């Protein structure tokens, strides 16, 4: 039987925190996810959060309010931006829920993962952030 409890994977590449979540998030699930993000980002002076919602990810209205409150706090601190991949209908609904509940500042959505990666590189002023060999070639 497949779990309907939310699952979240939070990991870091340099100053970019990735959050991949699935299923339905309520307030407690959002709080736990944000705690995990805080642990992974601890000690970073400036970082970007990229959220890659699974096709099953959703959020309750209360969870969206909690997420907005917690993310607004993070975005006023050392988090430079929240970037959300919106390739699925549920991801678009998730992003809309965040916007609807007041998360606008430093918030960017795209259906292109490449666009989000470039946005993160631009925000962090590191054009080689996602290049293995760390050099720019023409």
pLDDT tens, position by position, 2-50: 556 667 789 999 999 998 877 666 777 777 888 888 899 989 999 999 9
Phi, psi of 92 (to 5 degrees): -65, -40
Q: pTM higher than 0.85, yes or no?
A: no
Give the CATH number of domain 7-123: 3.30.750.24
Task: Please name the residue ranges forming H helices in 58-138.
Answer: 61-75, 89-100, 113-123
pLDDT in tens, 69-85: 777 776 667 888 889 88
How many distinct helices (H) and strands (E) make up the chain? 4, 7
Separation of alpha carbons 57 and 12, rounded Å: 20
Total residue count of the chain as it appears in this document: 138
Contact 103, 74 (CB under 8 A): no
């Amino acid at each position: 039987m497949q779990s309907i409890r939310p699952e979240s994977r939070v990991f870091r590449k340099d100053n970019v925190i990735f959050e991949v979540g699935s299923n339905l998030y309520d307030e407690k699930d959002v709080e736990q996810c944000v705690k995990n993000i805080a642990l992974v980002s601890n000690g970073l002076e400036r970082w970007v959060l990229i959220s890659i919602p699974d096709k099953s990810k959703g959020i309750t209205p209360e969870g969206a309010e909690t997420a907005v409150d917690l993310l607004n706090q993070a975005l006023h601190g050392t988090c430079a931006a929240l970037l959300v991949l919106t390739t699925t209908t549920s991801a678009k609904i998730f992003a809309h829920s965040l916007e609807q509940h007041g998360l606008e500042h430093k918030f960017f959505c795209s259906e292109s993962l490449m666009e989000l990666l470039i946005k993160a590189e631009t925000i962090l002023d590191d054009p080689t952030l996602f290049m293995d060999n760390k050099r720019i070639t023409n």
